[in-house]
C-alpha cells in the first residue's frame, strides 16, 4: 500500500472503516512492558483459547494495546463498548470474562475494581478514581489501537495532520501554529518548541535534522516508554510534520536500549510508514523528502543531554560539549538540528489537526496543554497520569493517586528525577508548571513523580539521587565527576553518624560549586535533591548530625535494637532470624540484643510476631556511632 496522493490516505481510511470486522464486544488487553511483566501474555493466551473454546470467534474481538497508564492494576483489560474494567487478573479469570462478555456484555462483579474491601465495584474505566480527574489527550488513543498496526492508527485519523500540513499549510504556517499553541519542550527544560523550530528553519546548513529524544533515564519515569509502546505512529507523524516545518530531510529517533519493546514498536512503525510512502521520497506525493532511522543508546543516563545525544548518534562517547553553539545551529554532523522529547513530538499532530486553540484550551498561563507524569512511590495508585498543566501536585497525588498508603502519611514528592528536587507535603499545592516548580526549588523535568511517605529518610533520598548522578556522570568535567562523589561521601558520613555540624555548610557550598561550575545539565541539576532537601528538611539533617538519629528509622548506623523484656514472650523467633547471632535468651524468658554483635539488619523486628512487637528500634542510647562496616573513620 503506497500512498502517492493525499486522497489515497482518505480512501484508505474509508476502506479500512468498511472492512473493519464488526465484533459485538472487543476485549482490550493492555500489554506494554508493565502489563507483560505482570503476566499479560499468559492472560492473552487464555483469553484467546477461551474465545475459541466458547465459540465466540467473530463475535468477540481481542485487541492488544500498549500501556494505558494504570500500571498498578496490571494485568488488566477493558471490555468495549461498555468500558468495563478488570484489573489484577490471572489467566484463570479469562473464562469468566469471556463468558460474561459473550452474554450481552454482563459485568463480572467478582473481578471489578473495589475502592475498599467489600465495597461495590466500579464498573467502567472512566469512573475509576485513577482516571476520573485525568485529561487524557495523548494516552487516550492507547486503548483503541494496536501499536503494531499502522491501519489502526490511520483508522483513528492518523497521518491526517501530516496531509493537512503538507498540502494545506506552508512550513512557516506550521511553525506559527506550534508557536500559537504555546507548546513547550516536554523533556524538562520547557523551551518553546515553535521558537526552536524557527531558529532551525532560519539557520544555514544542509541537510537539517530532526531528532526524537527517548533516552529516558530518570529512575522511576517511563512516560516516553508508554508513548513509544502505545502509539509509535503519533511520534513519527509529529517528527515528519516537524521536519517539513524546519526543512529537514533526515531524522533520528534515539531510544534507550533498555526499552526493547519500544524499540521494536518504533522500528516496525518506521518500516510501515516507509512502505506506505509516509517516509522516504515524495511523501504522500508531495515534494517533501524525509526519512527516519532509529538509534539505540548503550545505557548512559547522560545521553539524554542533547549534545551528548548527538555524540552518541554520531558513534562517539556521549560527552556533552559546551553550548553555544546550540544544536539548533550546529547539531548532528554540524548541521542545524531540532531535538525534541518524544512527548513533544506526540503533541504535534493533534495541534495541526485540531488547531492551536484546542491545544491551548487547557493548561496554565505559560504552560499550555497536558503533561504525562509517571506517578510512583508510596502512593495507593501508581501509573502514567495525563493531566492539564497547572493542576496542583495535590490533585495528582491525592485525587488520582489516592494519597498515602494506609497507615502512613505523605512526606514529600520528588519531581523531575535525579535532576529535580524534593518538595515537602506542605508544598503540595504548588502547580505543575515550569515556572512554579522551579520557584519551589524543583523542576518539571520529564515528568517523574516519586511520592515519599513517613518511612523515607530525606538524607538517604538525597544520598541515593546524588549517588545515581555520581555513577552516571560521564566523567568529562571535574565538578560533576568529582563533586557528586564528594557530595555522596559527605552524605554517607551523615547517614553513618560521623558528620559534624560544620559539614552542613560544607555540603551546601560544595553543592553550589557543582551547580555553578558543571559543564552540562547533569551536573548542574544533580545537586537539586541535596539543595531541596536541605531547604525543606534541614531538621532531618540536623537530627542526623547533632542527635545522631534518623527520625525515619532508615539509616541503619543510627539505629539501635533492643527487646522490651516486659513484652517479650521468649518465643525465640528473633533469635532464629538474627544472622549475626546477636540475640540471646532462653525459651519462654525475655531475650536480649547484644549491641556489640548487632548488625542492625532489622530481621528481629520483622520476625517478632505482630501481636507481641517487643523489638524496639531507637537511636543509639549512648549517642555513639556504633560499629561500622567498611567505612573509614576520618
Which residues lie near other proteins (CB under 8 A)? 300, 302, 317, 319, 321-322, 324, 470-479, 481-483, 485-486, 489, 506, 509-510, 513, 516-519, 634
CB of 515 to other proteins, least distance (A): 9
Report the alpha-carbon distance of residue 53 to residue 41 in Å, rounded.
18
Judged by CB, which is closer to other proteins: 7, or 334?
334
CB of 93 to other proteins, least distance (A): 45
Instruction: Return the C-alpha cell found at 453.
Output: 511517605
Judged by CB, which is closer to other proteins: 509, or 594?
509
H-run or E-run covering 421: strand 421-424
Judged by CB, which is closer to other proteins: 358, or 464?
464
Judged by CB, which is closer to other proteins: 10, or 482?
482
Judged by CB, which is closer to other proteins: 15, or 316?
316
Report the alpha-carbon distance of residue 566 to residue 573 in Å, rounded.
17
Judged by CB, which is closer to other proteins: 190, or 551?
190
H-run or E-run covering 238: helix 232-246
Q: Which residues of 259-279 are buried (b: 16+ CB within 10 A; e: fewer)?
A: bebbbbbbbbbbebbeebbbb
CB of 543 to other proteins, least distance (A): 24
3-state secondary structure of 404: coil
CB of 406 to other proteins, least distance (A): 39
Judged by CB, which is closer to other proteins: 22, or 502?
502
Residue 104 makes CB contacts below 8 A (sequence gap 6+) with: none
Judged by CB, which is closer to other proteins: 424, or 441?
441
Judged by CB, which is closer to other proteins: 55, or 475?
475
Instruction: Return the C-alpha cell found at 22.
Output: 464488526
CB of 463 to other proteins, least distance (A): 15
Q: Is 205 left (phi over 0), alpha (psi -120 to 50) or beta?
A: left
Judged by CB, which is closer to other proteins: 124, or 485?
485
Across the beta sheet with 383-388, the strand order is 383-388, 370-377, 448-453, 410-415, 421-424
CB of 383 to other proteins, least distance (A): 31
* Parallel, antiparallel or unpaired: strands 615-619 and 559-563: antiparallel
Report the alpha-carbon distance of residue 183 to residue 194 in Å, rounded.
7
DSSP state of 472: H
CB of 479 to other proteins, least distance (A): 6
Judged by CB, which is closer to other proteins: 231, or 518?
518
Cis bond before residue 624 (omega within 30° of 0)? no
Residue 572 makes CB contacts below 8 A (sequence gap 6+) with: 585, 587, 591
CB of 444 to other proteins, least distance (A): 19
Instruction: Return the C-alpha cell found at 103.
Output: 452474554
Instruction: Return the C-alpha cell found at 292.
Output: 527516519
Handedness of CA 197, 238, 442, 218 (dihedral sign): negative
CB of 321 to other proteins, least distance (A): 7
3-state secondary structure of 345: helix
Task: Tell me which residue of 228, 70, 81 sits closest to 144, measured CA to CA.
Answer: 81
CB of 494 to other proteins, least distance (A): 14
Report the alpha-carbon distance of residue 180 to residue 169 in Å, rounded.
15
Judged by CB, which is closer to other proteins: 106, or 485?
485
3-state secondary structure of 302: helix
Judged by CB, which is closer to other proteins: 312, or 341?
312
CB of 376 to other proteins, least distance (A): 25
Handedness of CA 322, 436, 443, 373 (dihedral sign): negative
Q: Are 46 and 321 in contact (CB under 8 A)?
A: no
* Parallel, antiparallel or unpaired: strands 615-619 and 592-593: unpaired
Judged by CB, which is closer to other proteins: 392, or 473?
473
Instruction: Return the C-alpha cell found at 239.
Output: 517528527
Judged by CB, which is closer to other proteins: 233, or 493?
493
CB of 627 to other proteins, least distance (A): 21
Judged by CB, which is closer to other proteins: 460, or 503?
503
Task: Tell me which residue of 32, 361, 348 sits closest to 159, measured CA to CA.
Answer: 348
Report the alpha-carbon distance of residue 224 to residue 227 in Å, rounded.
5
Q: At what angle do helices 538-546 and 484-495 cross, to 10 degrees?
A: 60
CB of 422 to other proteins, least distance (A): 23
CB of 134 to other proteins, least distance (A): 36
3-state secondary structure of 83: coil
Report the alpha-carbon distance of residue 281 to residue 270 in Å, rounded.
14
Instruction: Return the C-alpha cell found at 430.
Output: 504548588
CB of 300 to other proteins, least distance (A): 7
Task: Tell me which residue of 197, 161, 158, 162 sits closest to 176, measured CA to CA.
Answer: 197
CB of 630 to other proteins, least distance (A): 15
* Parallel, antiparallel or unpaired: strands 77-80 and 84-86: antiparallel
Amino acid at each position: 500500500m503506497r500512498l502517492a496522493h493525499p486522497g489515497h490516505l482518505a480512501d484508505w481510511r474509508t476502506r479500512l472503516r468498511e472492512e473493519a470486522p464488526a465484533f459485538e464486544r472487543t476485549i482490550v488487553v493492555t500489554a506494554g512492558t508493565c502489563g507483560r511483566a505482570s503476566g499479560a501474555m499468559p492472560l492473552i493466551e487464555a483469553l484467546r483459547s477461551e474465545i475459541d473454546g466458547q465459540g465466540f470467534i467473530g463475535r468477540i474481538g481481542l485487541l492488544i494495546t500498549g500501556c494505558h497508564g494504570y500500571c498498578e492494576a496490571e494485568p488488566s483489560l477493558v471490555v468495549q463498548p461498555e468500558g468495563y474494567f478488570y484489573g489484577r487478573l490471572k489467566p484463570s479469570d479469562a473464562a469468566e470474562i469471556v463468558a460474561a462478555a459473550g452474554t450481552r456484555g454482563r459485568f463480572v462483579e467478582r473481578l471489578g475494581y473495589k475502592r475498599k474491601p467489600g465495597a461495590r465495584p466500579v464498573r467502567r474505566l472512566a469512573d475509576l478514581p485513577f482516571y476520573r480527574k485525568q485529561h487524557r489527550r495523548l494516552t487516550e488513543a492507547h486503548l483503541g489501537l494496536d501499536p503494531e498496526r499502522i491501519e489502526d492508527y490511520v483508522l483513528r485519523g492518523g497521518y491526517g495532520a501530516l496531509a493537512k500540513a503538507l498540502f494545506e499549510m506552508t512550513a512557516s504556517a506550521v511553525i506559527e501554529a506550534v508557536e500559537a499553541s504555546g507548546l513547550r519542550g516536554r523533556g524538562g527544560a520547557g523551551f518553546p518548541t515553535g521558537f526552536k523550530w524557527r531558529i532551525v528553519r532560519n539557520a544555514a546548513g544542509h541537510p537539517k535534522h530532526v531528532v526524537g529524544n527517548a533516552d529516558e533515564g530518570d529512575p522511576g519515569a517511563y512516560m516516553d516508554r508508554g508513548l513509544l509502546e502505545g502509539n509509535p505512529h503519533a511520534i513519527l507523524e509529529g517528527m515528519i510534520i516537524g521536519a517539513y516545518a524546519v526543512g529537514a530531510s533526515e531524522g533520528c529517533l534515539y531510544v534507550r536500549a533498555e526499552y526493547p519493546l519500544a524499540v521494536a514498536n518504533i522500528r516496525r512503525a518506521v518500516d510501515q510508514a516507509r512502505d506506505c510512502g509516509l517516509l522516504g521520497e515524495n511523501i504522500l506525493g508531495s515534494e517533501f523528502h524525509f526519512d527516519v532511522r532509529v538509534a539505540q543508546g548503550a545505557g548512559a543516563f547522560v545521553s539524554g543531554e542533547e549534545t551528548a545525544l548527538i555524540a552518541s548518534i554520531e558513534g562517539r562517547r556521549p560527552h556533552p560539549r559546551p553550548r553555544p553553539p546550540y544544536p539548533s545551529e550546529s547539531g548532528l554532523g554540524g548541521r542545524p538540528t531540532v531535538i525534541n522529547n518524544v512527548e513533544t513530538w506526540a503533541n504535534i499532530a493533534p495541534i495541526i489537526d485540531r488547531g492551536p486553540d484546542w491545544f491551548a484550551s487547557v493548561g496554565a498561563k505559560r504552560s499550555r496543554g497536558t503533561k504525562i507524569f509517571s506517578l510512583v512511590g508510596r502512593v495507593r495508585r501508581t501509573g502514567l497520569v495525563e493531566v492539564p498543566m497547572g493542576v496542583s501536585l495535590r490533585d495528582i497525588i491525592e485525587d488520582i493517586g489516592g494519597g498515602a498508603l494506609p497507615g502512613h502519611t505523605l512526606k514529600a514528592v520528588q519531581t523531575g528525577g535525579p535532576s529535580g528536587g524534593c518538595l515537602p507535603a506542605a508544598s503540595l499545592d504548588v502547580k505543575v508548571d515550569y515556572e512554579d516548580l522551579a520557584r519551589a526549588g524543583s523542576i518539571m523535568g520529564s515528568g517523574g513523580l516519586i511520592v515519599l511517605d513517613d518511612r523515607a529518610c530525606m538524607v538517604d533520598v538525597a544520598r541515593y539521587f546524588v549517588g545515581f548522578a555520581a555513577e552516571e556522570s560521564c566523567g568529562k568535567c571535574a565538578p560533576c565527576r568529582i563533586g557528586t562523589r564528594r557530595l555522596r561521601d559527605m552524605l554517607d558520613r551523615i547517614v553513618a553518624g560521623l558528620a559534624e555540624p560544620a559539614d552542613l555548610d560544607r555540603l551546601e557550598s560544595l553543592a553550589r560549586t557543582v551547580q555553578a561550575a558543571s559543564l552540562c545539565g547533569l551536573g548542574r541539576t544533580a545537586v537539586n535533591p541535596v539543595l531541596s532537601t536541605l531547604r525543606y528538611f534541614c531538621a532531618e539533617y540536623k537530627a542526623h548530625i547533632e542527635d545522631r538519629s534518623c527520625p525515619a528509622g532508615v539509616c541503619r548506623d543510627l539505629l539501635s535494637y533492643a527487646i522490651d523484656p516486659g513484652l517479650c514472650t521468649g518465643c525465640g523467633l528473633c533469635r532464629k532470624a538474627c544472622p549475626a547471632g546477636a540475640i540471646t535468651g532462653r525459651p519462654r524468658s525475655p531475650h536480649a540484643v547484644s549491641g556489640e554483635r548487632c548488625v542492625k539488619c532489622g530481621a528481629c523486628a520483622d520476625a517478632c510476631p505482630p501481636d507481641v512487637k517487643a523489638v524496639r528500634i531507637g537511636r543509639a542510647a549512648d549517642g555513639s556511632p556504633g560499629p561500622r562496616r567498611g567505612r573509614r573513620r576520618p
